[in-house]
Amino acid sequence: MPDISKVLIANRGEIAVRVIRSCKHLGIKTVAVYSEPDSSMPHVLLADEAVHIGEAASSASYLVTDKIIGAAKKTGADAIHPGYGFLSENASFAKRCREEGIIFIGPSPEAIEAMGDKTKARELMEKHGVPLPPGTASALKDIAEAESVAERIGYPVMIKAAAGGGGKGMRIVHRKEDFTSSIRTAKSEAMSAFGDDRVYVEKYLENPRHIEFQIMADTHGNVLHFFDRECSVQRRHQKVVEEAPSPFLDNTMRQDMAAVAVKVAKSCGYTGAGTVEFLADKHRNFYFLEMNTRLQVEHPVTESITGYDLVELQIKVAEGKKLEISQDDLFIKGHAIECRICAEDPAENFMPSTGYLKRFSPPSGIGVRVDEGIESNRTVSINYDPLLAKLITYGKDRDQAIRRMKTALEEFEVDGCKTTIPFCHFTMKHPVFQSGNYDTHFIGQYYKPAQLIQENGDDNIDSAAILAAALIAANSSKSHMDLAKSESNGHGSNANGSLWWTKRVR
Task: Check residue 454 and give its pLDDT.
Answer: 60
Nearest residue to 384 (alpha-carbon basis) of 422, 416, 343, 432: 343
One-letter amino acid of 86 = F
DSSP, res 176: G
Task: Check residue 63 and give its pLDDT.
Answer: 97
Name the residue ranges covered by the structural domains of the chain. Answer: 6-105, 134-203, 209-454
Q: How much is the pTM?
A: 0.85
Rounded-to-integer distance, Cα 334 and Cα 489, Å: 39
Decide: residue 127, CB within 10 A, 0-12 exposed, 13-18 middle, 19+ buried: exposed
Nearest residue to 352 (alpha-carbon basis) of 420, 290, 412, 411: 420
Q: Does residue 245 have a cis peptide bond before it, meaning omega lies within 30 degrees of 0? A: yes
Task: Check residue 163 and give its pLDDT.
Answer: 82
- How distant is the alpha carbon of residue 324 from its chain centre? 28
Nearest residue to 122 (alpha-carbon basis) of 491, 302, 130, 330: 130
Task: Check residue 495 and give its pLDDT.
Answer: 29
Rounded-to-integer distance, Cα 56 and Cα 145, Å: 43
Task: Check residue 453 and give its pLDDT.
Answer: 57
Angle, vertex CA 142, rays to CA 137 and CA 147, nearest 5: 75
Nearest residue to 502 (alpha-carbon basis) of 385, 414, 399, 430: 414
Rounded-to-integer distance, Cα 101 and Cα 273, Å: 21
Helix axes 421-429, 398-411, angle to 10 degrees: 150
One-letter amino acid of 298 = E
Task: Check residue 484 and give its pLDDT.
Answer: 33
Rounded-to-integer distance, Cα 303 and Cα 52, Å: 32
Q: Which of 96, 254, 294, 369 is catalytic?
A: 294
CATH classification number, 6-105, choose in 3.40.50.880, 3.40.190.10, 3.40.50.620, 3.40.50.20: 3.40.50.20
Residue 401, CA distances (Å) to 221, 259, 358, 484 in order: 36, 28, 30, 38
Pair 94, 109: CB distance under 8 Å: yes
Strand partners, 235: 238
Those residues of the chain that have pLDDT short of 70 are: 1, 166, 453-506
Task: Check residue 455 and give its pLDDT.
Answer: 56
Query: How many Cβ atoms sit within 10 Å of the Cβ of residue 157?
Result: 27
Nearest residue to 207 (alpha-carbon basis) of 136, 279, 276: 279
Strand partners, 274: 215
| 254 is an active site residue | no
3-state per-residue secondary structure call for 215-236: EEECCCCCEEEEEEEEEEEEEC
Rounded-to-integer distance, Cα 124 and Cα 264, Å: 9
- The answer as to CATH 3.40.190.290 being correct for domain 209-454 is no
Beta strands in 344-439 (DSSP E): 344-345, 351-352, 355-357, 359-361, 368-372, 378-380, 387-395, 413-415
CATH fold label, 134-203: Dna Ligase; domain 1 (3.30.1490)
Rounded-to-integer distance, Cα 408 and Cα 403, Å: 9
3-state per-residue secondary structure call for 366-393: CCEEEEECCCCCEEECCCCCCEEEEEEE
Q: Is 280 helix (H, G, I), strand (E, B) or coil?
A: strand
Nearest residue to 168 (alpha-carbon basis) of 194, 143, 142: 194
Rounded-to-integer distance, Cα 31 and Cα 50, Å: 5
Pair 372, 17: CB distance under 8 Å: yes
Nearest residue to 137 (alpha-carbon basis) of 154, 125, 151: 125
